[in-house]
Amino acid sequence: MTDYDVIIAGAGTGGSTTAYAIAKKGYSVLLLDRKEKDKIGDKTCGDALGSHHVKEAQELIGLPEIPDDIVEYVVNGIDLIAPDREHRLRMQGPTTTGMSFNRLKMGQWFLGLAEKAGAEVMASTRAKKLLIKDGKVSGLRIMDSEGNDRDLTARIVVDATGATGMLRRQLPESSPIERVINKDDMMVAWRDIYETPEYDFETPDILEIFWNQEETLGGYTWVFPQGRNRVNVGAGVMTIKNHRRPQDIMKEFVEPNWDFYKTKLVRLDSSGGVAPIRRPIDTMVDDNFMLVGDAACQVNPIHGGGIGSSILGGALAGLTACKVLETNDTSIGSLWEYNPRYMEMYGSKQASLDVFRWFLLNVTNDDIDFAFRKQIIKASDLLDTSMTGKMKIGTGEKFKRLVSGIGNVPLLRRVQKIAHLMEDIREVYAQYPSSPDGLSDWQEKLWPIYDQAKKI
């Protein structure tokens, strides 16, 4: 007999969604977080979420509608802006409509859902050590709000501790789960929220993403209005060797170049954060153990959005956990089905965009300006890529037309090659193994694609 059916470390959107899905089926769930209860949900973020993610979770686990008082402003599209800042692509479609929201209220709402569904919430409680018995996860050592250590057992432990993946890192070496994430698969960012009483954002329903390879290599600057007189602004970069500090980018590049900085500003919040920006962890389960959200690298590698995918991950992990708890077999083989379900719904797209991320590292501002100017990629194509991970440009007649009409053949050829590699990796994901036995053979097929993408 264990203390709980499931212990979930981390009560962000990923952990809370998992807890909600499992607790509502009547299983005993402990959801713990190191933050004080009324601070859970407060985190460095762009505060933007696509509505399609919410709809998906409604269908999967009956997530209720997001209440209106959490939403700061409705989002109707995203502008991608070239380094020259003269050319932009407006993406408007099912994946780019959504909301800009109050982060703390959103987090509190998810926590409340889990609690109302029956999860026991322990705040100000730190997950300290993964307990292992006979080589398998058996529970968790926690430090409670009084500073006392306690060992708790569970049939399943879920790591939803966010980008640190602090339980994942403690798995035994024999685990098929990667414990450490490469630095160059992480992004680091700085974000400020201001009221701008003297500056009106003209299109507060459109989020703006600015590319500039010289300033924000492997990342971008975002300007996300939260109404006419409020903005969430930040800059993030990939943590490759010698990357710039995001605070320096804000000071030296963003502040001098955006007009609203020339007006009176009321700073509401400033902070830094990190997120993984790669394909999901290849297996997000082991015996009695699951990963959800940032801890499982369930983040879009191009725009760094991970709230929606952590909700999806939480919903799918929760559904699998309920099924497995019923059969009384919580081995990796039983928990496995969470992997292919997530890979099919989102992981394959993440992998494809991850390949594209490596390509983007090797393009210049001139290349991007050219691509925008000549409309090599149209907004509708990009929208399609963001929805499906498929890039349309790379094949057939259309490419021939581009070569003859536009020029810059070397760049076009490189774009064509990367489009093929994105297609290749999606094919590999279509063959994601149906049991743990096939994992290492499957992984062997992934790595050569990355090797090629890094060289284009």
Residue ranges in contact with ligand FAD by CB under 6 A: 9-15, 32-35, 40, 43-49, 126-127, 160-162, 164, 166, 189, 191, 234, 236, 273-275, 293-294, 299, 304-308, 310
Q: Which is nearer to ligand FAD, 48 or 379 (CB)?
A: 48
The whole-angstrom separation of Cα 317 and Cα 169 is 19
Provide, rounded to whole angstroms, the least separation between the CB of residue 28 and ligand FAD. 19
Nearest to 320 by CA among 336, 305, 306, 332: 336
Provide, rounded to whole angstroms, the least separation between the CB of residue 48 and ligand FAD. 4
Provide, rounded to whole angstroms, the least separation between the CB of residue 223 and ligand FAD. 12
The whole-angstrom separation of Cα 45 and Cα 403 is 40
CA distances to 168, 231, 294 from 173, in Å: 11, 45, 21
Provide, rounded to whole angstroms, the least separation between the CB of residue 247 and ligand FAD. 12
Q: Which is nearer to ligand FAD, 45 or 70 (CB)?
A: 45
Q: Which is nearer to ligand FAD, 176 or 272 (CB)?
A: 272
Provide, rounded to whole angstroms, the least separation between the CB of residue 180 and ligand FAD. 16
Residue 209: other Cβ atoms inside 10 A:
19
Which of helix, strand or coil describes residue 168?
Answer: helix
Six-digit token string for 348: 């394959």
* 255-289 as b/e: b if 16+ CB within 10 A: eeebebeeeebeeeeeeebbbbbbbbbbbbbbbbb
Q: Which is nearer to ligand FAD, 164 or 270 (CB)?
A: 164
Which runs of E-coded beta strand occur in 1-114? Answer: 4-9, 29-32, 48-50, 71-75, 77-81, 88-91, 98-101
Q: Which is nearer to ligand FAD, 225 or 273 (CB)?
A: 273
Provide, rounded to whole angstroms, the least separation between the CB of residue 21 and ligand FAD. 14
CA distances to 121, 335, 349, 384, 418 from 390, in Å: 41, 29, 8, 7, 11
Q: Which is nearer to ligand FAD, 232 or 416 (CB)?
A: 232
Provide, rounded to whole angstroms, the least separation between the CB of residue 196 and ligand FAD. 19
Q: Which is nearer to ligand FAD, 160 or 391 (CB)?
A: 160
